[in-house]
Amino acid sequence: MRSSDRDVLRVLARSPQWHAKQLSDIMTQDPVTTTPDMLISAAVREMLAKRINCLPVVAADGGLCGILTSTDLLKALERLQTLIEKSKMPT
């Protein structure tokens, strides 16, 4: 279970007693997750289909390995695009 920035902002906007809430009151139940061995394209499809900007990466033992964000994906795209553009430049 996790609490995203959207979860927190939703509670702040809707509840005058937000300061008395516990994370368990506002966090997303059963979040969408991925594994370290998932293909990048599959993770991107999942994020687009679910309209989410981050995906917790969970190991086989259930431990959190990290978080894949849309910013991570944009950085990877930028690096790839730069390599493609450089390879097409006349020498």
Return the amino acid letter for 10.
R
pTM score, whole prediction:
0.71
Band (pLDDT 50/70/90 cuts) for residue 35 is very high
Could you report the per-residue pLDDT of 44-83, keeping only the tens digit for each?
999 999 988 889 999 999 999 999 999 999 999 999 999 9
Give the confidence band of 10 by pLDDT, cuts at 50, 70, 90: confident
Domains and CATH numbers, the chain: 1-29 (no CATH), 32-91 (3.10.580.10)
Percent of the chain with pLDDT over 70: 89
From residue 34, how far is each of 12, 56, 63, 75, 79 by CA, in Å? 28, 6, 12, 19, 23
Kindly list the distances between the CA atom of residue 47 and the CA atoms of 19, 34, 87, in Å, as whole numbers in the listed order: 30, 10, 30
pLDDT band at 7 (very low <50, low <70, confident <90, very high): low
